[in-house]
């Protein structure tokens, strides 16, 4: 497989977000869904409206999300929309909680943990997708970026339970009683992310991957008690390959001389977070081999 192109800017502004999208050379048309985490009530690291709003509006995009499997302020569509409003998303776009009206099963190919993935029904209403992730740590997955945003993020409430239990249960109420070996959960995320990519490919629908690497906490935006950032902002990466884009994010953390990076590394490795990358490559989702193109130097 050829090296994937990963574009990079150290600038984290609405202008640089537009610029890095243009660098990808893909013009998304039709009904565009922009998958971001709306952030749990009480979290602080989610991508803010003033940063992503102009970009989403330029695509005439709709913010797409699914309900959470855990108890919180986003496990019903009504409550989830209220949090999205509180966090400013409804000011610049429509917000579609994709599993509000049901869910659909899509096949998992090459998987050893999941037989299928369960996604929000409304996902199929979109002609093109932007996987717009916030890079950060994660209590269960080690880290969250494009792969997590595409697997857990696009899965319905029941689908999230199915991934978290590595195929043991679709019942969110039974999730915590059915937790698998950690590596099986990590692999399940990769399998679900590939199922979504395959589903789009079969319909000739494009997807692009962008990760904003700011507010780098060891906790996810799904944590109502999210801790403060542990290291300085890194910038934005974008690619047509989700594995390469996540690998670039990880490589930048490991290359950082910021003393706080050690805390993020420890969180990631404690949860075997980096193992998602070789497994995602193994099952054909993308490549870890990439060329980094700094658009600030153009």
The predicted structure's pLDDT at residue 147? 98
Beta bridge partner(s), residue 37: none
Taking only the tens of pLDDT, the chain with its 298 residues reads 689 999 999 999 999 999 999 999 999 999 999 999 999 998 899 999 999 999 999 999 999 999 887 677 788 788 899 999 999 999 999 999 999 999 999 999 989 999 999 999 999 999 999 999 999 999 999 999 999 999 999 999 999 999 999 999 999 999 999 999 999 999 999 999 999 999 999 999 999 999 999 999 999 888 888 999 999 999 999 999 999 999 999 999 999 999 999 999 999 999 999 999 999 999 999 999 999 999 998 7
- The number of folded domains in the chain is 1
For residue 108, the number of C-alpha atoms closer than 13 Å in the C-beta half-sphere is 26
The predicted structure's pLDDT at residue 72? 72
Domain range for 96 is 4-297
| CATH number where 205 lies | 3.40.50
Torsion of CA 63, 64, 67, 68, to 10 degrees: -80
The predicted structure's pLDDT at residue 1? 67
């Amino acid at each position: 497989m050829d090296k994937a192109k990963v574009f990079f800017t150290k600038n984290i502004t609405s202008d640089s977000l537009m610029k890095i999208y243009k660098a990808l050379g893909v013009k998304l048309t039709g009904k565009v869904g922009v998958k971001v985490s709306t952030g749990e009530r009480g979290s602080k690291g989610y991508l803010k409206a003033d940063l992503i709003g102009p970009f989403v509006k330029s695509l005439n995009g709709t913010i797409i999300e699914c309900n959470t499997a855990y108890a919180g302020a986003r496990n019903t569509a009504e409550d989830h929309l209220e949090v999205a409003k509180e966090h400013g998303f409804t000011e610049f776009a429509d917000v579609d909680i994709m599993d509000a009206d049901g869910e659909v099963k899509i096949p998992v190919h090459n998987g050893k943990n999941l037989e299928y993935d369960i996604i929000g029904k409304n996902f199929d209403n979109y002609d093109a997708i932007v996987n717009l992730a916030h890079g950060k740590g994660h209590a269960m997955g080690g880290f969250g970026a494009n792969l997590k945003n595409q697997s857990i993020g696009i899965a319905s409430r029941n689908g999230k339970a199915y991934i978290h239990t590595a195929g043991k249960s679709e019942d969110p109420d039974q999730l915590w009683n059915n937790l698998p070996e950690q590596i099986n959960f990590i692999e399940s995320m990769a399998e679900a992310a590939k199922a979504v990519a395959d589903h789009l490919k079969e319909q000739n629908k494009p997807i692009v991957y962008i990760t904003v690497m700011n507010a780098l906490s060891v906790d996810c935006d799904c944590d109502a008690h999210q801790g403060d950032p542990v290291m300085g902002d890194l910038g934005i990466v974008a690619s047509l390959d989700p594995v390469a884009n996540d690998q670039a994010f990880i490589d930048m953390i490991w290359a950082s001389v910021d003393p706080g990076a050690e805390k993020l590394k420890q969180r990631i490795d404690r949860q075997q977070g980096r193992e998602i990358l070789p497994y995602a490559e193994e099952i054909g989702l993308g490549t870890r081999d990439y060329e980094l193109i700094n658009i600030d130097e153009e």
